[in-house]
Amino acid sequence: MDILLIAFFLAMGLFGANAAEQRQRIALLASHLQKFQLEKLMEQLTSGYLRALGESDPERSDPIWRNLEATEDSVKEQLAQFAQELHTVWGERTRVSRLPMAVPWATRLFPAQSFDLRALVDVHANGFDATLRNDEGLSRRDRAFRLTAELLLFQHSCHWFCRSRSLASARLLALHKTAYEQVVAAVSPQTRQAYLAVVQG
């Protein structure tokens, strides 16, 4: 009985510590993201792509594509500014655990099993910028598909930092009906290589 009671209080303590750490991470990320309109712009962009791709008549779709150019530029600029802003944060506060599940103090207990969110956001900002330039000459459809993947992977990284890799992947699947592996495969080869170099070490 005593062992069960100790185990119960230990589990409750770990749960409380984990919840407190996640609240701190959410507050940290929100304090920097609130200066931008990234979430709103990303929603406008992805829904705009769906509208444009849903039009079979070029005369109806062309104005939508043109209107999206300003939103794309805004996302690019704000992603770059957000990446730069994160570099003002003390590095230990931006460490992300590679463990699949959330474990309190994981980045301090297992520093080798962690990476820096700042490096990952740099990858996302550069990836979106490169895809927007479209040096490969992708069609509008393929470019929109890749830009959407770049943004979904950025969102996954933010949720991974705040919660855990497993919860971020579950949220991606629930909200966008897309598996984490599919998103990684859909970004540009350059983004994928840089991304995996950071998250896998």
The whole-number average pLDDT for the span 105-125 is 89
The whole-number average pLDDT for the span 77-105 is 90
Cut 0.85: pTM above it: yes
The whole-number average pLDDT for the span 57-81 is 94
HSE-CB at 169 with a 13 A cutoff on CA atoms is: 12
The whole-number average pLDDT for the span 97-110 is 79
Residue 160, C-beta contacts closer than 8 angstroms, at least 6 positions apart: 96, 168
11 has pLDDT over 70 = no
CA angle 67–68–71, rounded 5-degree value: 115
CA distance linking residue 27 with residue 15, whole number of Å = 18
pLDDT at 134: 95
**Domain spans in the chain, listed from the N-terminal domain onward:** 2-200
